[in-house]
Structure 1
Amino acid sequence: MNSRYLLTLSLIFTLFVNMGAQHQVPIPTPEQLQWQNTELAALVCWDMHVFDGEFYVQKEVRITPVKDYNTFDPKNYDMDQWIKSLKDAGFKTAIFTVSHETGFFFHQSNATPYCMKALKWQEGKGDILRDFKASCEKYGILPGVYIGTRWNAFYGVHDFKVEGVGTFAEHRQQYYNTMIENVVEEIFANYGDWAIVWFDGGAHSPEQGGPDVLSIFDKLQPNSLFYHNLQRSDMRWGGSETGTVPYPSWGTFPYLSTGAGESAKKEIRANNYQLLKTGDPNGNYYMPAMSDAPLRGHGGHDWFWEPNREDIIYPLDKLVKMYYNSVGHNTTLILGVTPNTDGIIPEPDVKRLKEFGDEIKRRFDSPVKSVSGEGYQLSIKFANKQNINQVVLMEDISKGERVRKFILEGKTKGGWHMIFEGSCIGNKFIHRFDDKEVSAVRLKVLESIGKSQILEFSVYDVTNP
């Protein structure tokens, strides 16, 4: 057997292994790709309790009907101000809480009386969801809708279930489930396409005695992200509300869905939701994590507006660190923002969002040099000695997360030196380090499932503000 024949066999075998490996790596849908490329999303939180003059206590709001829903009277309501503030800060997706724990729906509903039709404001003809969708389209923001079904103080629903026993509870549960299905159909059919649909705390599926929301979603919003119930989850919670995940955080997961509360598998709940935080490189499902936190979360945790709480808006340096530990760890960062009783995003919040967006642009818009390619080594060379202190890596995840182990090295006058040794790259990995003067930098992929596909390898010299 001659050497040319052996070489041919070797090449065929390598090609076969690589082709087989491609099929072993879970591939994201176009909607999941769009979601991860969003990087920054805003969860716009509003509910009736913002207007009651009392400090929000979640466990009380969940079980206490609103005393007077006509306290809702935002005299300076300006939806464009909300969305333009997000656009100016660099956000690409906005998600609005059309309902939360009070059970009130901020749209014109024929399925429930507890909606905009019940208000004196705008003579009962207002539609916050309609305005939100229109403004997102105006400013080029991807729109998402957040629907609360798990808690509903108006209907007496607690953790998905109505109160009571026997036939009484059975009939009330059926009524509630049908109402939710009709509301969901209104939102999906009457307001156009949504980039993401988020069910607060998940949604019980029919097998658990809940409404059949997934079939309505599949019929009316086939090109959207679904989050989530026991039947399906297109993304996963990152395991905390700190706006961060640890490294590594893989985009793949071993289970089809994550569940909610007690319906979550014990393996998911274990070790303070560690599996949600890290994912699983050998998982069979592509389900990237999200990192969420309220903007007013520094020394507090205000998803909803409260007066005189500007002091708990995250400082700029904390938000920047949050970005590195969320987007830079292969997740999308979701920041909670909240309009006040006047119907606008407060000016201190708007200012901090803009500062944050500007600082991210300053740090990432101008790399010293970038390359891309496939294979097991990529290099960047400089004509002269170059100071660097930050590296960004991105895989082409349309072909799946392939890299399992890599090192970054910089060449100094003393030779090649380690900058970082890691495992997950995924959609985006960011590493910052002390200033280093180098003549070259290289990425060496030590382990991968098939040939690695590097969409971006960029180096930066970022100065402190």
Structure 2
Amino acid sequence: MPAQVCLGAMLLCGGANLLAQVPPCGVSGVKETTTITYPPIARAAHVTGLVIVRVEFAKDGMVETAEVWRGPEMLRENVLSFVKGLQANEYGGSRTCLLSVILPCESRFPQIFTETCWVRISSELRSRHCTIPLRRQRFLSIQAQTRQARRFASASSASSSRCHTMGAMKLSRRTFVGSALATGITAAAQTKGTGAPAKFGPTPSLRQLSWQRMGTTAFLHFTVNTFTGREWGLGDEDPNIFNPTEFNADSIVLTLKQGGIKGVILTCKHHDGFCLWPTKSTDHNISKSKFQGGKGDIVRDISAAAKKHGLKFGVYVSPWDRNNANYGKPEYITTYRQQITELLTHYGPIFEVWFDGANGGDGFYGGAREKRTIDKHTYYDWTNTWALVRKLQPGAVIFSDAGPDIRWVGNERGIAAENCWNTVTLLSEHHDATAVPGDVDTKLSGAGSADGKEWIPAECDVSIRKGWFYHPEEKPKSVEALLNIYEKSVGHGAGLLLNIPPDTRGLIADADADVLYAFAARVQKMFATNLLRGAQLTASDVRSAGYSPAKLVDGNPDTFWSVPDGKTEATVTAQFAARTELNLFRLREEISLGQRVREFVLEVRDGSGPWVRVASGEAIGNCRIVRLEAPIHANEIRLSIRGAAPVALSEWGCFLNRD
């Protein structure tokens, strides 16, 4: 098992350079310098603060995964980029360290501290004194604080710890923590460890929880269709037609990253059967094209660029293959699983495997040019096909109409039901069989149900253009249209998968990039200032000090307000210091404990007037965004909750958005 390390960084200025060499149990620089670039939008919004992540190290000291623990959205990616070049020294066993890094604006170099270092030897945990020499021979060491270290180790050394289980983005990066925050990290770990409410109903797996924390991801529809103008290729296309002469994976991925995207899913094989990697399973692949002299590999390049720039990488591999002569026969399933195996073993960590519901129809089929149909329920042997994914990429979520990890929302408009539940009991279209890709009751899959038997959150897929593939005559959606989609997908508790198709050059079209950038900036601006952070919060009930209503506004997704067992109704009131204008709310449940809220009501009071209901709903889940028709003024706001179990609410945000 890789070591687990909780790290953080306080980003206070525009840039800093770092060169650190560390004795065993520390972190060493593998590059001469590493640079922080302060996000322009964060500078404009005057956003500063702390970003904390948990990092898992492989035995060779390299970062295996990193998960954001807390911190302003505007700063996270840039802080992660700053530590991209750091590497842990090999130590002969797993270890857990707390690092502290302060980046003062007045100083060229950050100050780095290590509070404690815990080394696992056999079954024992032993603390070590850690020292980090900095550039210009500046040394700082802080003696281990035994009591604090023991608490931290108990919370984070076991694989079931909150530090291990509760993360947002898994990235091949590393981040650090301001020294004054060391005790804060310990307290956060303790908060989730003791006295937490019992889980209620179906709950997410770690891979589902990590996926749900991402919010917005991107589709890249890119294949021979990009050059033929079709949406569904027939399978008879000449591989040589695929030749994006200006293809640049770094440019594509950076465009997505700057547009607020957290992960990218590439259509490695669409229905036409053309494979964007040099597969050994069929000759209908990129090695038979003139692209890069037959040496190209789009999957390799996009996956490498995603890793380089801090995005997760996923694969779409169509079950239907209109090129393969064996499609519809048992032999094709062997070929299909070979393709899946190649994609899941040659291209690094995969966060999502996407299975389309299109199954059978007209096609080339090796020259037969006929219509072929298959039994959707038996042909692909989904149980064993999905088991192959679990074996090869246990951290990947599996998407299809029927899950098993992520379900289709039931439309391609990018919109989830207003009350969209993570829990669902999926059935076939006619309720006469188990749901499978291509045969599901979309009314059930679209909304889910409060009493659903399984935790299978919804994903909303939609294209930035009319079509899924690039067509030069089409124009991208407006920023306002994307914002509406965002509020009705992510804001309804689902994930948003936004398709941004590369053009015939092999780049993201300028018009698409411009809309994406503007969309991301608007989303960041919308939620930049939570007006409740300056308000006085009072709750009807509090489980204990570790679950106070202050947790609703601390910016930490892993802390939450909760009430005693047996309490299924509760209220929390926010009193502003002065009359405040607002028009937007955001709510989040602590979904690791299940989806518990069944009804919420938002009320406001202006001065000494009566309480006035301004919004209400049923489902909250991972995220619920409520926009009022027009801005209002209030001195107080009240949130009332009715749940099937004691409330566990991790965020209550109130904002003013004039755009």
- Structure 2 counterparts to residues 31-46 of structure 1, below 5 A: 31-46=207-222
Provide the C-alpha distance between the structure 1 equivalents of 2:276 and 2:590, rounded to a whole number of angstroms: 39
Alignment check: 8 A CA contact 2:355 2:437 kept: no
Q: Distance in 2 between matches of 1:416 and 1:277?
A: 34
Report what 1:411 is aligned to: 605
Which structure 2 residues correspond to residues 231-380 of structure 1 after superposition, within 5 A? Answer: 233-255=404-426, 258-261=435-438, 263-264=439-440, 268=441, 273-296=442-465, 301-310=466-475, 313-370=476-533, 371=550, 372=552, 373-375=561-563, 376-380=570-574
Deviation string 1:8-32 (CA, Å, 9 cap, x unpaired) is xxxxxxxxxxx9x945411111111
The runs of 5 or more residues in structure 1 that have no matched partner are: 1-18, 163-172
Deviates more, 1:429-438 or 1:247-256: 247-256
CA contact (8 A) 1:50 1:306 kept: yes
Does residue 431 of the first structure (1) align with residue 607 of the second (2)?
no
Compared with structure 1, are the counterparts of its residues 126 and 337 closer, same or farther at alpha carbon in structure 2 (3 Å cutoff)? same
Cα deviations by residue, 1:244-296 (Å, 9 ceiling, x for unpaired): 112111111013874222x33xxx1xxxx221221110001111111111100
The answer as to 2:376 corresponding to 1:220 is no
Listed as ranges, the matches of 1:101-112 within 5 Å are 101-112=271-282
Contact 2:235 2:274 in 1 (8 A): no
Match of 2:336 among 152, 176, 180: 180
| Residue 80 of structure 1: aligned partner | 250
1:378 Cα offset (Å): 1.7
**Deviation digits for residues 359-415 of structure 1, max 9, x if unmatched?**
111111222124521232222111111111111110010111100012111111312
Shift of 1:225: 0.2
The answer (yes or no) to whether the contact 1:97–1:146 under 8 Å persists in 2 is yes
Deviations 1:36-76 (A, max 9, x none): 11111111001112223xx3253xx3xx3334220211111
Q: Which has the higher contact order (CA 8 A, sep 6+)?
A: 1
Question: Taking structure 1 as reference, are residues 207 and 392 closer, same or farther at Cα in structure 2, changes over 3 Å only?
Answer: closer
CA distance in 1, matches of 2:624, 2:337: 40
SS at match of 1:406: strand
Check whether the contact 1:202–1:228 (CA below 8 A) recurs between aligned residues: no
Matched residue type, 1:458: G
Which amino acid in structure 2 is aligned with residue 345 of structure 1? I
Q: Relative to structure 1, is the Cα distance of residues 450 and 105 closer, same or farther in structure 2, using a 3 angstrom cutoff? A: same
- Within the candidate set 261, 264, 285, 1:91 is matched to 261
The one-letter code of the counterpart of 1:427 is N
Q: What code does the residue aligned with 2:562 have?
A: E
User: Partner amino acid for 1:196?
Assistant: E
Distance 1:415 1:362 in 2: 32
Give the partner amino acid of 1:128. Answer: I
Letter of the 1:77 counterpart: F
Distance 1:249 1:405 in 2: 13
- For normalisation by structure 1, the TM-score amounts to 0.84
Aligned to 1:6: none
Moved more, 195-204 or 394-403: 195-204
Report the Cα distance in structure 1 between the residues aligned to 2:469 and 2:358, rounded to whole angstroms: 20
Residue among 589, 594, 601 paired with 1:400: 594
Matches within 5 A, 1:377-392: 377-392=571-586
Indicate how the Cα distance of structure 1 residues 153 and 84 shifts in structure 2: closer, same or farther if over 3 A, else same. Answer: same
Show CA shifts across 1:167-192 (max 9, x none): xxxxxx12211111111111111112
Go from structure 1 to structure 2 and tell me whether the alpha carbon gap of 1:347 and 1:254 turns closer, same or farther (over 3 Å shift): same
**Are the aligned partners of 1:248 and 1:423 in contact in 2 as well (CA < 8 Å)?**
yes
Conserved 8 A contact 1:42-1:335: yes
How much does 1:133 deviate? 0.7
- Segments of 5+ residues of structure 2 without an aligned counterpart are 1-194, 360-373, 428-433, 534-549, 553-560, 564-569
* Corresponding residue number in structure 2 for 1:167: none
RMSD (CA atoms): 2.2
CA contact (8 A) 2:575 2:637 kept: yes
Task: Please show how residues 129-208 of structure 1 align to structure 2 within 5 Å.
Answer: 129-150=299-320, 152-155=321-324, 162=328, 173-201=329-357, 208=378
Distance in 2 separating the partners of 1:384 and 1:120: 67
Alignment-mate amino acid for residue 280 of structure 1: S
Indicate conservation of the 8 Å contact 1:202/1:259, yes or no: no
TM superposition outliers: structure 1 runs of 4+ over 3 Å:
21-24, 202-207, 255-258
The alignment-based identity, stated in percent, is: 28
Give the partner amino acid of 1:422: G
> Contact conserved, 2:245 with 2:291, CA < 8 A, in 1?
no
Contact 1:75–1:342, Cα closer than 8 Å, also in 2: yes
Query: 2: CA distance between counterparts of 1:205 and 1:403?
Result: 40
Are the counterparts in 2 of residues 290 and 331 from structure 1 also a CA contact under 8 Å? yes
Report the Cα distance in structure 2 between the residues aligned to 1:206 and 1:276, rounded to whole angstroms: 18
Separation in 2, partners of 1:442, 1:405: 14
Take 2:394 and 2:226, find their aligned partners in 1: how far apart are those partners? 34
Distance 1:357 1:27, change over 3 A: same
User: Which amino acid in structure 2 is aligned with residue 185 of structure 1?
Assistant: T
The 1-side partners of 2:493 and 2:423 are apart by 11
Aligned to 1:456: 651
Q: Give CA deviations for 1:61-95 in whole Å, capped at 9, x if unaligned.
A: 3xx33342202111111111111011001110110
Residue type of the alignment partner of 1:215 = A
Answer yes or no: is the 8 Å Cα contact 2:602–2:639 preserved in 1.
yes
**Partner of 1:165 in structure 2?**
none
- Aligned equivalents of 1:283, 1:22: Cα separation in 2: 19
Cα deviations by residue, 1:74-126 (Å, 9 ceiling, x for unpaired): 11111111110110011101100000011011112122222122122222211
* Cα distance change of structure 1 residues 355 and 137 upon mapping to structure 2, 3 Å threshold: same
Go from structure 1 to structure 2 and tell me whether the alpha carbon gap of 1:420 and 1:66 turns closer, same or farther (over 3 Å shift). Answer: same
Give me the whole-angstrom Cα distance separating, in 2, the residues matched to 1:84 and 1:51.
23
CA distance in 1, matches of 2:336, 2:267: 15
Change (3 A) 1:50 1:44: same
- Mapped to 2, the partners of 1:354 and 1:70 lie a distance apart of 33
Equivalence map 1:45-60=2 (5 Å) = 45-52=221-228, 55-56=229-230, 58=232
The DSSP-based 3-state class of the residue aligned with 1:208 is coil
Deviations 1:274-328 (A, max 9, x none): 21221110001111111111100xxxx3100112322xx1111111111111111
Instruction: Confirm or deny: 8 A CA contact 2:203 2:592 kept in the other structure.
Output: yes
Partner SS state of residue 233, structure 1: coil
Distance 1:347 1:206 in 2: 40
Q: Distance in 2 between matches of 1:156 and 1:249?
A: 41
- Whichever structure has more helix as a proportion of its residues is 1
